[in-house]
Structure 1
């Protein structure tokens, strides 16, 4: 709870607006009086009238003092700022009834429609609940439809009445299921749009572009151009007149057109200055490739925080520092703002990585397996853009069918699990994460470390429907199935092999994955030549997959004379597409390194086709192939487990009749009056029993013993 008169710094927050830009929200202070006067004088006569019910060209000194000097308990006010400018103001004043407060807003004419009113209401309600207020009221002129809409769409149960020419609004500010859904929806739209702006910019400037081969600036500029980027590209380097066949500009301010994404590849000590220049020039987002922030301990971390704060003050979001880059393979964008030498094939997999080194491994592994990407985000030190932001974007992205993330830390587990659970309901989420990172953060990651046991993270991921893996190899093993095959309807499996021993090995591995082997066919004869063997294989597989009691198939084969891996994979792909059931293959004993036996094989030139008949969900054609049957069965088992989670009844929330939440709240309110200087208090045994009793939980009597 905020101490009376003490500025509550913990109420400050960087917020993402409806259009994806950022701003800073903080409690108001007396120093804001000049900015507030400027804000007021920029407003239209109509906006001033709607706020004050009369027109006043300027605020008096007395009014400025009243509006900017608050106690942060009975009188609270927030401002949303960008740089030194105020974009919106929201406040509440406690009424005679200590549980009720009157609330009011004033949003800049130039920034209306960006969700500022909703953001201010959310933060005011949170502060009010903290200060023991449970109801808001507001007086609004009937013609102020925008403000009435803010209250109506917030998800609260708003009561209205018309009194003396004014609409009186009253509502309880305790979170409801609807208000939580509204807040999550607003957050989702804003964060998804901010990432979309980074991945689909209309123009890119490389600041620190160089003609020296092998430098970061040279590579980024070359890769953007060679990738066929469809937007405008600008090179910025004060020491070069021409770069990559185009005019180079001395600074971002000299670029003739608007810049939506700036790639910063300048020396470490120049980054802060370049960020300011980008903000003044109106750049929308930053990709900071420069490293070094994490190498200087606490001072480097402080500079990293200052970089993000400076960028957000201008409304810019930041990818990095130490980012490997951004990739978007959509044909209308073709952005390869990364260190990867070539734009990957278009596909249905979205990839996110925190570590640049692991990002390289993950990117390369996907390429070797023939996995096309929809987009790729390397967060580097993850100072701003995180896996949560990327998942918000991929949930809406029609080009993405499955999501893979490599995480070194989880900064906000509650938010991560909420977003991941919602995303996993429609698109599978695969997470690779090191077990040791719960207690030790990687350099540059300024997030909380968890005190929970290592098993807690696994439980959180499992309950969220996330497929947890240990390595990047396992991630792409599973991704091969998810981007190319329909989800299995159950665990029933058919196993095919041209070796009895190999077939039994696969069956045993399937049982270990809780798969139910319904058919085991080990007499497939492939020694009869391609013209005879392939039709036999096709007939056997189709016969099994046509059985409603069989949900998927594993085909594990030893080499056969006259049959190529590609020919067999082509046959199996047709079987899977005909039956519309998942099929994976293992080609054991392929010793020739020139033969690719791990990945999506038999993919035609156009890898994106709706093989499962749903044009809204892209599918990469091909059959998932593995060098060993163990990897094939393990990957399929993980997909079956995910499909089972996704299809289960998740139930609904039900509050038993014997729960008295108001009485429980009263117990907690009394306990809060005893909070000490560290913000802590304890419930004694009687209070704990009373509190639990209000939730229908009875305790057995407890007796303390003094001796063994």
Structure 2
């Protein structure tokens, strides 16, 4: 095991937002560890070591900084270059159990150093085979006992003789992840205070040329009404610029400002960031493009500064009264949080949200996203009561699984909306070149958004349509939409549009139809859609809408108005007493979407029926997701994790670069996780094949195992439906001749009864991590492409929804009198695959194709698994980008 290096460090946030460097300790850290313990108070030393010893620091430093080994590890936490805490474990006599110990500098107590170290040490220990930590602490050491109790790990205590013995299994269950996520949210929000609510601000690179980026940002900051001190920095601009004090460099600023907006040329950004860090600046927004982002990030970490950008438009917080962007217009204060990578998209969203009267609460153009990202903004919105809607347009994800977990939590409080961009090949190329980041595959992002409850649309127009509805109206309780129109043709178009997006057109009850009949002239249509006729008076039209909305069989209403010379119904849009979700369509309206205000109400108004239908469908999908239970990660009895680990480890020791497992290894791995497999035998001769067929029962299938042959059917390596000794023997001999000299053996299986063939599998997506894939299997897999995917870990509800998400789901659920297949068995298989993928990132590909699904069970009849050496890491571990 190699000596830990400083380059292996990660950065994370303490509970007060302080940036902390976390890494394994090495020989170069011995003196720092010794000084840490030498500086601890006698009381702290006694509580930590149960005694006082003159050279305890040196002894501990020797142990913690010795060469790495299989049975021990140590980690340190550094703040501003100084060591403030250490944590280590040592193997005990019990297999898989290690004793953990922690020490934190006296002046850093109660800031979360020990908890952060425990999280990182536990994650490291899990990758090295440690299953549980143990610890002994004095009964009066309440701080350490509270630390263990609050960590979120399962905890067992035993007290005896003034000593409390703890045992902590390291398996990261949902309770532990929730505890880590809450600590991360709290720390992240604290760290963003200086960025999004700055008490003072400087624009570095502001010039006297009014069209320069720095001058435009300074002008916007001052025009937005920001009340804190504002400074300009420019070595050639004099003592005053734009009405504010100007200084030659960041080092000359009269105070360490909370926020510095940097617009200097790319080659000067690094030096400016260093000056800001030394002056005590708390956060940077770097507008400049073409910057070495890694070098800039390292500088920001070194000085504890949060970073937005580089290559961005800037940030704004209307509640804090500042707009530090170079947009041509300023957003009105409002309720929508916006995070984008593209500055142009950000400008469009700001302007449209302002035009609609929805307004913006916080805005962040995160550019190349080296630090502050959509994850950070989600956590800010969660804590901000002024944000009631979130709009996200990002083209890549640094930690998509953490994003999904955060979005799931935030989405329970506010609707989150996004645009799925980069779907075409050209779009993917553009996204990659524009953001200097790998674009994410469409199907994977769709899975991510679906699981996270994010309303995902396919264009900015759709995004604004949905935002207008969700900002102004309640979420529909169901998909039944009543349509009321004074133009019959438009009502038909609306009905078609509802059907296109999965909504149903509600038919009013008999009581409601009778009431409508008394209001409307002869010939009016009182069933769904309701056609009032063109000449209806405004008060009667309003009453029709109220009657339909009050019907118990209606979840939402689309009101369609065609202005005529006979009757102006536009005023009715906001006049009715309607408590259910309402979308208006004003035919001839110049804007594709508008928000109409009146009587204390806001109603979204669309130019076309299809826009209104899509907006309602988006709102209903969000409502349906929000109403569903969280789901649970089920216990999976019969899982033999040690056996699976042994199979993968043995293969990678023989093939360090990885490769396809042998059939026996694949079957053994899957069996270790309790996946349903057709019984099999591996044979090496015709006689053995005959004997195996007799043991398994006829008919059987023979599958040749040939190196490099993955798709056996295409290569003629599969023979089906064999009965009797002669057929089995001839088939074996034919395979031996066909693959002369290359045959590694033959797999014999009893043929499964006919059923629906499905595919279940795992793929390691380079950005998103492991996905579970499900769809129609057999020869139809490549032809029809009917598959869906979900990110791991799957809950029981995720697995159920994945099964129902494919177009061929009716074949599984019962179709035209045929019984449903064993859905519980399919669900179990998907959950076991999810667990396998989560616990073994070495699995690059896994196909169970086909799995035969029948009413009486499911069974996999073919499997292939490819493994690669992969670093094990916890995607939910607290760390900065």
Q: Classify 1:72/1:21 alpha carbon distance in 2 versus 1 (closer, same or farther; 3 Å).
A: farther
The equivalences for 1:168-567 within 5 A come to: 168-239=165-236, 240-293=238-291, 303-330=292-319, 333-434=320-421, 435-436=423-424, 442-443=432-433, 445=435, 454-519=442-507, 520=528, 523-524=531-532, 533-561=537-565
1:445-482: per-residue Cα shift (whole Å, max 9, x none)? Answer: 465665xx632322332232221112222111100011
Higher deviation after alignment, 118-127 or 64-73: 64-73
1:214-236: per-residue Cα shift (whole Å, max 9, x none)? Answer: 11211111111111113332222
Classify the secondary structure of the residue corresponding to 1:700.
coil
Of 43, 66, 69 in structure 2, the residue corresponding to residue 69 of structure 1 is 66
Of 21, 24, 35 in structure 2, the residue corresponding to residue 24 of structure 1 is 21
1:345, distance to aligned residue in structure 2 (A): 1.7
Classify the secondary structure of the residue corresponding to 1:417.
helix
Q: Classify 1:112/1:670 alpha carbon distance in 2 versus 1 (closer, same or farther; 3 Å).
A: farther
Aligned to 1:686: 664
Higher deviation after alignment, 171-180 or 437-446: 437-446
1:307-365: per-residue Cα shift (whole Å, max 9, x none)? Answer: 112201222111100121111122xx112111234442222211110112222222233
2:57 is the counterpart of 1:80: no
1:664, distance to aligned residue in structure 2 (A): 2.7
Structure-1 separation of matches of 2:35 and 2:257: 29
Q: Unaligned regions of 5+ residues in structure 2, if any?
A: 508-527, 681-701, 705-716, 718-734, 739-881
Structure-1 separation of matches of 2:180 and 2:477: 34
The answer to whether the Cα contact below 8 Å between 1:288 and 1:321 also exists between their aligned partners in 2 is: yes
1:146, distance to aligned residue in structure 2 (A): 1.8
Q: Classify 1:8/1:251 alpha carbon distance in 2 versus 1 (closer, same or farther; 3 Å).
A: closer
Structure-1 separation of matches of 2:55 and 2:132: 31
The answer to whether the Cα contact below 8 Å between 1:17 and 1:23 also exists between their aligned partners in 2 is: yes
Q: Classify 1:485/1:672 alpha carbon distance in 2 versus 1 (closer, same or farther; 3 Å).
A: same
Structure-1 separation of matches of 2:451 and 2:230: 44
1:277, distance to aligned residue in structure 2 (A): 1.9
1:418-456: per-residue Cα shift (whole Å, max 9, x none)? Answer: 222222233221111322466775347465665xx6323
Alignment length, in residue pairs? 661
Aligned to 2:570: 568
Higher deviation after alignment, 240-249 or 125-134: 240-249
Classify the secondary structure of the residue corresponding to 2:45.
helix
2:626 is the counterpart of 1:627: no
1:486, distance to aligned residue in structure 2 (A): 0.3
Aligned to 1:615: none
The equivalences for 1:608-687 within 5 A come to: 621-655=601-635, 659-661=637-639, 663-669=640-646, 671-676=648-653, 678=656, 680=658, 683-687=661-665
Structure-1 separation of matches of 2:483 and 2:265: 57
Aligned to 1:600: 595
The answer to whether the Cα contact below 8 Å between 1:329 and 1:343 also exists between their aligned partners in 2 is: no
The answer to whether the Cα contact below 8 Å between 2:584 and 2:603 also exists between their aligned partners in 1 is: yes
The answer to whether the Cα contact below 8 Å between 1:355 and 1:380 also exists between their aligned partners in 2 is: yes
The answer to whether the Cα contact below 8 Å between 1:587 and 1:628 also exists between their aligned partners in 2 is: yes
The answer to whether the Cα contact below 8 Å between 1:326 and 1:378 also exists between their aligned partners in 2 is: yes
1:602, distance to aligned residue in structure 2 (A): 2.0
Structure-2 separation of matches of 1:424 and 1:679: 41
Higher deviation after alignment, 61-70 or 376-385: 61-70
Q: Classify 1:37/1:217 alpha carbon distance in 2 versus 1 (closer, same or farther; 3 Å).
A: farther
1:489, distance to aligned residue in structure 2 (A): 0.9
The equivalences for 1:83-98 within 5 A come to: 83-98=80-95
Aligned to 1:582: 581
Q: Classify 1:67/1:522 alpha carbon distance in 2 versus 1 (closer, same or farther; 3 Å).
A: closer
1:124, distance to aligned residue in structure 2 (A): 0.7
Structure-2 separation of matches of 1:341 and 1:671: 58
Higher deviation after alignment, 270-279 or 337-346: 337-346
Classify the secondary structure of the residue corresponding to 1:442.
helix
Q: Classify 1:388/1:587 alpha carbon distance in 2 versus 1 (closer, same or farther; 3 Å).
A: same
1:68, distance to aligned residue in structure 2 (A): 1.9
Structure-2 separation of matches of 1:181 and 1:477: 34
Of 25, 30, 48 in structure 2, the residue corresponding to residue 51 of structure 1 is 48
Higher deviation after alignment, 437-446 or 640-649: 437-446
Aligned to 2:746: none
Structure-2 separation of matches of 1:289 and 1:626: 36
Q: Classify 1:233/1:144 alpha carbon distance in 2 versus 1 (closer, same or farther; 3 Å).
A: farther
The answer to whether the Cα contact below 8 Å between 1:70 and 1:77 also exists between their aligned partners in 2 is: no
Structure-2 separation of matches of 1:256 and 1:43: 36
The answer to whether the Cα contact below 8 Å between 1:264 and 1:288 also exists between their aligned partners in 2 is: yes
Q: Classify 1:449/1:40 alpha carbon distance in 2 versus 1 (closer, same or farther; 3 Å).
A: farther
Classify the secondary structure of the residue corresponding to 1:675.
helix
1:248, distance to aligned residue in structure 2 (A): 1.7
The answer to whether the Cα contact below 8 Å between 1:689 and 1:698 also exists between their aligned partners in 2 is: no
Classify the secondary structure of the residue corresponding to 2:611.
helix
Q: Classify 1:279/1:8 alpha carbon distance in 2 versus 1 (closer, same or farther; 3 Å).
A: closer
Higher deviation after alignment, 681-690 or 468-477: 681-690
Structure-2 separation of matches of 1:695 and 1:521: 53
The answer to whether the Cα contact below 8 Å between 2:482 and 2:506 also exists between their aligned partners in 1 is: yes
Aligned to 1:697: 675
The answer to whether the Cα contact below 8 Å between 2:337 and 2:387 also exists between their aligned partners in 1 is: yes
Q: Classify 1:16/1:56 alpha carbon distance in 2 versus 1 (closer, same or farther; 3 Å).
A: same
1:682, distance to aligned residue in structure 2 (A): 5.8
1:670, distance to aligned residue in structure 2 (A): 5.2
RMSD of the TM alignment (CA)? 2.8
Structure-2 separation of matches of 1:125 and 1:587: 60
The answer to whether the Cα contact below 8 Å between 1:235 and 1:246 also exists between their aligned partners in 2 is: yes
The answer to whether the Cα contact below 8 Å between 1:78 and 1:124 also exists between their aligned partners in 2 is: yes
Structure-1 separation of matches of 2:53 and 2:212: 58
1:94-144: per-residue Cα shift (whole Å, max 9, x none)? Answer: 223342212111223333322221111111111111111112122323333
The answer to whether the Cα contact below 8 Å between 2:561 and 2:570 also exists between their aligned partners in 1 is: no
Classify the secondary structure of the residue corresponding to 1:76.
strand
1:14-44: per-residue Cα shift (whole Å, max 9, x none)? Answer: 2122223322211112222343344344444
Structure-1 separation of matches of 2:668 and 2:613: 52
The answer to whether the Cα contact below 8 Å between 2:202 and 2:232 also exists between their aligned partners in 1 is: yes
Q: Classify 1:678/1:45 alpha carbon distance in 2 versus 1 (closer, same or farther; 3 Å).
A: same
Classify the secondary structure of the residue corresponding to 1:493.
strand
Q: Classify 1:337/1:21 alpha carbon distance in 2 versus 1 (closer, same or farther; 3 Å).
A: farther
Q: Classify 1:160/1:651 alpha carbon distance in 2 versus 1 (closer, same or farther; 3 Å).
A: closer
